A and B are shown apart, each in its own frame.
Chain A
Amino acid sequence: MSSSDRFRLREFAVTSLTKYYEGLEQVIRTDRMPHIFCPGCGLGIILKGLAEAILKSGIPINRHVGVSGIGCTGRLPGYLRIDAYHVTHGRAVAFAVGLKLANPELEVTVVGGDGDIVTIGGNHFIHAARRNHDINVIIVNNFIYGMTGGQYGATTPTGSYTTTSPYGHVEYPFNIPLLAYASGATFIARWTPIHYAQMVDAFLQMFEHKGFAVVEIIAPCVLYGERNRFPSYTDMVKYFRDRCVIDHEADLRKIGISLDPKEPLVIGNFYKVRRKTYEELYKELIERVSKEGAKE
């Protein structure tokens, strides 16, 4: 490819992405286009959905904060016109917890991949969920470490082919909604980028919810697809269209993701319960102790 071809391709990407995000310039940094996401990646759509939800949330944009770790998904908040912190690998949730405690007025949203949030950062994720911190966590699950070239992680379905499992993956993956539920999360949903309206709605519910909110987005990844029966982007979209079953009442124990073509991919807004958040409990504690006075 000549440099003029490359230039034209870049111009085309800038024009089409700017058009795609038209009307959302208040939240999306269209001046940073083209973004780094591969053609066929789900992250561009998720970026649009999140931006739309931020606009519709009724919460002033300057109160929204995006926190991310490392990986393709980690780059997403950098394209949002909100305060964003790009921290170390796996530590986005830990960072967000500190941010929220220091300033509970902020609407803190962590955006991370499966490798970042539930693999290297799994410990922070389960403990923040257990304490029911009032933060939002969007986990973009593409079954793989995309940015480093396609190694398996904690959500890679058994039997998948990756660069570190060239003859098939033998481990059992995490079932993220069940993990979130067992850890204490109080809002749990799962969608895909092709369920755009439902995804935006889940983001809005997540903003509204007081407590630890988890939205898992199963996203197409061309790196995963090319080794696993989805040679093109449309194959993955077709897979989402054909296999997805919306079931808000699904038994979370039964919605693990399998490569078996007979198994459905269950999506929906699975769980929502109001429980006092860590921030509320902590505030109550301070008020009570201030009133009673310190122990002798």
Chain B
Amino acid sequence: MSMNKVLEKKLLEPLSGNHAVAYAVRDCDVDVISAYPITPQTTIVEKLAEFVASGELDAEFLHVESEHSALSAAIGAAASGARAFTATSSQGLALMYEVLFIASGMRIPMVMALVTRALSAPINIWNDHSDLMASQDTGWIQLVSTNNQEAYDFIIIGYKLSEREDVMLPVMVALDGYIQSHTIEPVQLEDPEKVRKFVPKKKRPVTLDPEKPVSFGTLGDPDWYYEFKIQQAEALERAYQAYKEVSSEFSQYFGRSYEPFQILYGEDSDAILVVLGAHTGTFLKAVEMARREGMKIGLGVIRMLRPFPPEVSKYLSQYSFIGVADKAINFGSASGSYLTNDIATSLYLEGASSRITTYIYGIGGRPVKIEDALYVVRHLWRISKRLEEVPKKPVFVGVRY
């Protein structure tokens, strides 16, 4: 269906997560798209290649020779003042690792979609959060969508946030491979004119400009490097407040808003299960089923992974028992889970004494059925009722021993 018809009828468009991202990039009037194919991201850039070729989007489309080059080219474009986009998954993100720090360190505003997928070896093309979690310390703002509408909205929010003068940092928008990327859901597309009014293109204070030459990324010796890094850390911290402002403006424009951290069924619950990403829906269903059985468990949803939202500890410290469901293994770390490490640290700093149980699930695309989610919720309830000890190590859901 053509864009105009959608606008006339205000219909919801059935879109895969990848196509929702591509439409958002089109609607943000991105100038440069650089890409390298990788499953399950590829259909994002394929759709964008179509938009560019058909003239629906006036942009340069570069299909480069590796992900390292894809991000490098996007950074180059963004440094010159253009609005840039790229997308990747798994090994592609791993290959970009070096360049991730360049983007954040040079304070490059841009957006990258990450379609989450397990990391090699052994090679696995299915979904988990290994790639997303392993990149959380690269200085990027990370927004994690739970459905295709959020993937569309977060790209738009991402550009607005990224280009704010008090932020000037790259934004990664995560969506789960297959569960979102290849699954069709109704998505409310917005009027591209309205989207472009929400994210207007402005001249940025510092860009590469032949009229006013500047240098980017030159040697920062011990006299200056520290100050650069502190400024970068402060900008990422400011991104939290900036996100709240952008999100509130987004809701005025489009009527949807997303809290960095949201608690569902929190009031009367004995424990809270914290999740992120596409399986949020599965865990929510399990929580609702368990509540009908009288197990009062609430759900906490993290939509902003970096900067880590300060309200997580504020909310969670009210509960004695917390469950954390993580779709990645943090090898050799204190808790074995990236998410638990963050939550435990923030609770400790808050002075809270809540006990945390970690649940690892869905590794390498291992199916997460409602029974698995119910197992987690019931287990957490038994802990909250002191019918079971708090395990010191993660509970591996759905694994064969």
27 A–B contacts from the bound complex (CB under 8 Å): A70-B91, A70-B123, A89-B91, A89-B95, A90-B66, A120-B36, A120-B65, A122-B65, A145-B37, A147-B39, A148-B42, A149-B37, A149-B46, A151-B42, A151-B45, A151-B46, A151-B63, A152-B63, A163-B42, A163-B49, A164-B35, A164-B46, A164-B49, A164-B63, A165-B53, A165-B63, A166-B53
> Per a CB cutoff under 8 Å, which of B42, B66, B95 touches A149?
B42
Q: Which residue of B lies closest to A89 (CB)?
A: B91
A151 contacts B50, C-beta separation under 8 Å: no
Inter-chain CA distance A90–B45, complex, in Å, is 21
Inter-chain CA distance A153–B65, complex, in Å, is 7
Interface residues of A in 16-53 (CB under 8 A from B): none
Number of interface residues of B (CB under 8 A): 21
Quick check: is A88 within 8 A (CB to CB) of the other chain?
A: yes
Quick check: is A108 within 8 A (CB to CB) of the other chain?
A: no
B37 contacts A148, C-beta separation under 8 Å: yes
| Interface of A, helix, strand, loop or mixed by DSSP | loop
A148 contacts B38, C-beta separation under 8 Å: yes
Quick check: is B315 within 8 A (CB to CB) of the other chain?
A: no
Inter-chain CA distance A294–B37, complex, in Å, is 50
B66 contacts A120, C-beta separation under 8 Å: yes
Interface residues of A in 146-171 (CB under 8 A from B): 147-149, 151-154, 163-167
B37 contacts A86, C-beta separation under 8 Å: no
B42 contacts A165, C-beta separation under 8 Å: no
Top 5 A-B pairs, shortest CB-CB distance: A148-B37, A120-B66, A151-B37, A167-B53, A164-B49
B45 contacts A164, C-beta separation under 8 Å: yes
Interface centre among B43, B54, B61, B66 (most CB of A within 10 A): B66
Interface residues of B in 9-59 (CB under 8 A from A): 35-39, 42-43, 45-46, 49-50, 53-54
| Distance between B41 CB and nearest chain A CB, rounded to angstroms | 9
Inter-chain CA distance A255–B120, complex, in Å, is 38
Cβ of A148: which chain B residues have Cβ within 8 Å of it?
37-39, 42
| Distance between B89 CB and nearest chain A CB, rounded to angstroms | 10
| Contact-residue bracket for chain A | 20 to 34
Cβ of A70: which chain B residues have Cβ within 8 Å of it?
91, 123
Can you list, as one digit per residue, whether each of A180-213 has a CB less than 8 Å from chain B (1) or not (0)?
0000000000000000000000000000000000
A154 contacts B65, C-beta separation under 8 Å: yes
Cβ of A166: which chain B residues have Cβ within 8 Å of it?
49-50, 53-54
A163 contacts B65, C-beta separation under 8 Å: no
Cβ of A167: which chain B residues have Cβ within 8 Å of it?
53-54
Interface residues of A in 118-148 (CB under 8 A from B): 119-120, 122, 145, 147-148
Interface centre among B61, B63, B91 (most CB of A within 10 A): B63
Q: Which residue of A lies closest to B122 (CB)?
A: A86
| Distance between B113 CB and nearest chain A CB, rounded to angstroms | 16
Q: Which residue of A lies closest to B66 (CB)?
A: A120
| Distance between A127 CB and nearest chain B CB, rounded to angstroms | 15
Cβ of B50: which chain A residues have Cβ within 8 Å of it?
166
Cβ of B42: which chain A residues have Cβ within 8 Å of it?
148-149, 151, 163
A88 contacts B39, C-beta separation under 8 Å: no
Cβ of A120: which chain B residues have Cβ within 8 Å of it?
36, 65-66
Inter-chain CA distance A281–B365, complex, in Å, is 48
Cβ of B39: which chain A residues have Cβ within 8 Å of it?
147-148
| Distance between A173 CB and nearest chain B CB, rounded to angstroms | 12
Cβ of A86: which chain B residues have Cβ within 8 Å of it?
123
B123 contacts A165, C-beta separation under 8 Å: no
Inter-chain CA distance A165–B36, complex, in Å, is 13
Cβ of B63: which chain A residues have Cβ within 8 Å of it?
151-152, 164-165
Q: Which residue of B lies closest to A169 (CB)?
A: B63
Q: Which residue of B lies closest to A163 (CB)?
A: B46
| Distance between A146 CB and nearest chain B CB, rounded to angstroms | 10
Q: Which residue of B lies closest to A74 (CB)?
A: B123
7 new A-B pairs (CB below 8 Å) besides A89-B95, A119-B65, A149-B42?
A88-B120, A119-B66, A148-B39, A149-B43, A151-B46, A164-B46, A166-B53
Cβ of B46: which chain A residues have Cβ within 8 Å of it?
149, 151, 163-164
